[in-house]
Amino acid sequence: MAHHRLIILGTGPAGLTAAIYAARANLEPLVVEGTEPGGQLTTTTEVENFPGFPDGILGPELMDNMRKQAERFGARFMQGWVTEVDLSQRPFRVTIGGGDVHEADALIIATGASAKKLGIPGEAELTGRGVSTCATCDGFFFRGKRVIVVGGGDSAMEEATFLTKFATEVTIVHRRNELRASKVMQERARNNPKISWVMNVTPVSVIGEGNKVKALEVRDNATGEVRQLETDGVFVAIGHTPNTGFLQGQLELNELGYIQTRGVSTATSVEGVFACGDVMDPHYRQAITAAGSGCKAAMDAERFLEGSSSHDWSVSAGSARA
């Protein structure tokens, strides 16, 4: 059984930033990649809002650069899916794949959250080519175009309202006649002249033309009629699922299922276990905020491993340093 001072689960912006900082601190972290190395950014095309890249950078290229940077400082990578963890005592045990067990004195969880998908034909094939799950990330690319937002909750209302900054027309498509969104969010969307509504329909497929979206095919739930809604983009806003199933109730989660952290730190309900990125952040879900929390997690883990377990996490995460 291999023993490590620190294991990091996940290789999105949070996990890789944690790996860079931990490796620079000579913790020699083992980074478990999972089945989607690089996280959700590997499914996007150009990233224009990550600081330091005035001309933008491709999502996969950004993640590859971050991985190489972590490797440069001594981080070790292992591909595999974490099937089980034992957080009942230290060292913690992490089971990968078919039974490969590793021990760790500290653990950083950066497994992210997966956007819920519609599961219809054309959705996967056109993701990154007109189908998106992040308006903040991709809205700029739809300046002067028509887009559809699928969903009826607060996230859908927020995405639709944000997209009106760029698109000429935003259509909200929902499978029911009533929305799940709060009244405030509904009113904000309904009062926006750029937003129109197609209710009580079920998305059937995303229609493409070449490498771009042409229309969303929907079925009327009352009549069964199938029709196409012409559009340049489809934003799926039906929620996210935090990737915490492998924890099996060993950590405190919030009401949405995200890992609960303490105060301004990344410390969790189990001493020596830290969480960063989308797995603990249901609100921002941005590469740069995930990276920032990854930095915090590595610094928190380093301080813990140095014996500062009595630190008051509710007050401060420690002094900043480069």
Among all residues, which ones are annotated catalytic? 134, 137-138
Coil, helix or strand for 256? coil
Per-residue CA distances from 258 to 94, 227, 274, 285 (Å): 20, 38, 13, 12
Residues 6 or more apart whose Cβ sits within 8 Å of residue 200: 174, 175, 176, 177, 220, 221, 222
Structure tokens at 165: 């900054």
Beta strands at 46-47 and 57-58: parallel, antiparallel or unpaired: antiparallel
Angle of helix 154-163 relative to helix 183-190, nearest 10 degrees? 30
CA 284 → CA 3, 11, 134, 258, 279, distances in Å? 34, 18, 11, 13, 11
Q: Which two tokens stand for residue 58?
A: 């491709």
Chain-centre distance of CA 263, in angstroms? 21
Amino acid in the structure at residue 210:
G
Query: Which amino acid is it at 172?
Result: I
Write down the residue that tokens 């990125």 correspond to. 277
Q: What single DSSP character describes residue 23?
A: H
Selection from 270, 271, 273, 275 nearest residue 257 by Cα: 275
For residues 33 and 197, what is the distance between their CA atoms, to the nearest angstrom?
41
213 alpha carbon, distance to own chain's centre: 23
